A = this chain, B = another copy of it.
Amino acid sequence: MHQSALSLKLSTFVSLSETDLATLARFLIRRRNFTVGYELTHEGQVNASAFVLAEGWAFSYKTTPDGDRQIVDFQVPGDFLGLRSILFRTSDHNVEALTRIEATEVLASDLFDAFADAPRLATAVLWAASRDEAMVVEHLVNLGRRTAEERTAHLLLELGARLKLVGLADDAGFDCPLTQYHLADALGLSAVHVNRVLRHLREQKLMTFQKGRVVFDDFARLTDLAGFDTSYLDQDGPLLR
Residues on A close to B: CB < 8 A? 13, 43-44, 62, 64-66, 68-70, 72, 83-84, 87-90, 92-93, 111-112, 115-116, 119, 122-123, 125-127, 129-130, 132-134, 136-141, 143-146, 188, 227, 231-232, 234, 236-237, 240
Contacts and interface: CB of A to CB of B under 8 A. Distances in A.
A143 B80 CA distance: 25
A68 B141 CA distance: 10
A26 to B, nearest CB: 16
18 contacts: A62-B138, A64-B141, A64-B146, A84-B133, A84-B134, A87-B126, A87-B127, A87-B234, A88-B127, A88-B231, A89-B240, A90-B231, A92-B134, A92-B137, A115-B119, A125-B126, A126-B126, A129-B129
Contacts of A93: 134, 137
Contacts of A236: 89
B62 A137 contact: yes
A64 B139 contact: no
Contacts of A240: 87, 89
Contacts of A123: 87, 111-112, 115, 122
Given A115-B115, A126-B122, A231 B64 contact: no
Nearest to A227: B65
A89 B236 CA distance: 9
A189 to B, nearest CB: 10
B140 A72 contact: yes
A125, A130, A132 — which one has the most chain B CB atoms within 10 A of its CB?
A: A130
Given A92-B232, A119-B122, 19 more contacts: A43-B231, A62-B141, A64-B141, A68-B145, A70-B145, A72-B137, A83-B130, A88-B231, A88-B234, A89-B231, A92-B231, A92-B234, A93-B134, A111-B123, A115-B119, A116-B119, A126-B126, A129-B129, A140-B140
Nearest to A83: B130
A130 B231 contact: no
A111 B93 CA distance: 28
Given A140-B139, A144-B143, A130 B130 contact: no
B136 A140 contact: yes
A65 B84 CA distance: 32
Nearest to A67: B145
